[in-house]
Structure 1
Amino acid sequence: MKKEISIEDFSPHLFWDVDFSDFDFQKHKIHLVQKVLEHGLIKDWNLLKDVYGLNTIKEISLNIRSLDAVTLSYLAALFNIDKKEFRCYKHRQLFPNYWNS
C-alpha cells in the first residue's frame, strides 16, 4: 500500500516559509512545483511526479514566469519542447541582462 504524500515528505529547505498546517496541494501547486524544480533534490522531484504526474508538471512549468537557465534546459529536454515555448524564456527576452551579455 502506498503512503499518502504530505508536505513534510519534501526537503525542509524548500518550504521554510510555509505553514504546513495550512498547505493544500491543489491550491499551492504552482508554488510547490517551482520550488522543487529550482531548489529540490532528486527525492523531491520523485515525490512531485507522484503527486502531480508529468503532464501537470509540464503544464505548470510552461507557464511559470521565472526559472533558472539550468532548470529551463532540463525541462525543455525532458518534455522535448523548444525553450521558446516556455513563458519564462519569453519573459527573459523582454528584459535582457546587459551585464552578462
Structure 2
Amino acid sequence: MFFDTYKNFPDVHINTSLFWEYDKSNFDYMAMRDIVVQRVIERGWPNDWYAMLNLYGIDGVTETIKRLPYLNEKDMNFVSHQFNIPLSDLKCYEKKQSVNPHWNS
C-alpha cells in the first residue's frame, strides 16, 4: 500500500477545510466517518491520508470505503488497488453498474 508508513506520522491532523460546510466546533470524526473518508479520498493530501489511517485504522477505512455511495472512476480504482478491495465489493461500483447509459452514449 502507498501509505504503509502512516504510523510514522502520529501527529498529523486532517485538514478541516475538507469539511467546509460543517460546523467544525462540533464536528464528530467518529460519527462522520463516511464523510471524512470520502473527502480525504477525493481531495486529501498525504498528511490527510496518514491522519485518517491513524484515526480509523486500515480495517476501519477499508470497511468505510466499501459502503461509500459514490466515488469517481479514478478514485474508485485507486482505493480498490491500494486497499486490495475488488471493485465488485464497492457499493459505488455496484451502483455505477446498475445505471442505464443514455441512448446516445
TM-score (norm 1): 0.82
Structure 2 match to 1:39: 43
Q: Distance in 2 between matches of 1:74 and 1:26?
A: 24
Q: Say if 1:84 and 1:54 are closer, same or farther in 2 by CA, change over 3 A.
A: same
> Which protein, 1 or 2, shows the higher relative CO under an 8 Å CA cutoff with sep ≥ 6?
2
Paired amino acid for 1:78: Q
Structure 1 match to 2:15: 11
The answer as to whether partners of 2:77 and 2:87 remain within 8 angstroms in 1 is: yes
1:87 correspondence with 2:91: yes
In the TM superposition, residue 12 of structure 1 has moved relative to its aligned partner by 4.2
TM-score (norm 2): 0.79
Structure 1 match to 2:31: 27
Pairing partner for 2:73 from 64, 69, 72: 69
1:52 correspondence with 2:59: no
Gaps of 5+ in 2: 1-9
Q: Distance in 2 between matches of 1:88 and 1:68?
A: 9
The answer as to whether partners of 2:16 and 2:24 remain within 8 angstroms in 1 is: no
Q: Distance in 1 between matches of 2:33 and 2:67?
A: 12
* Count of residue correspondences: 96
In the TM superposition, residue 54 of structure 1 has moved relative to its aligned partner by 0.8
Identity of aligned residues (%): 28
Following TM superposition, where does structure 1 have runs of at least 4 consecutive aligned residues deviating by more than 6 angstroms? none
Which whole-Å deviations, capped at 9, do the CAs of 1:7-64 have from their partners, x for residues lacking one? xx32243111111111112111111111111111111111101111110000000011
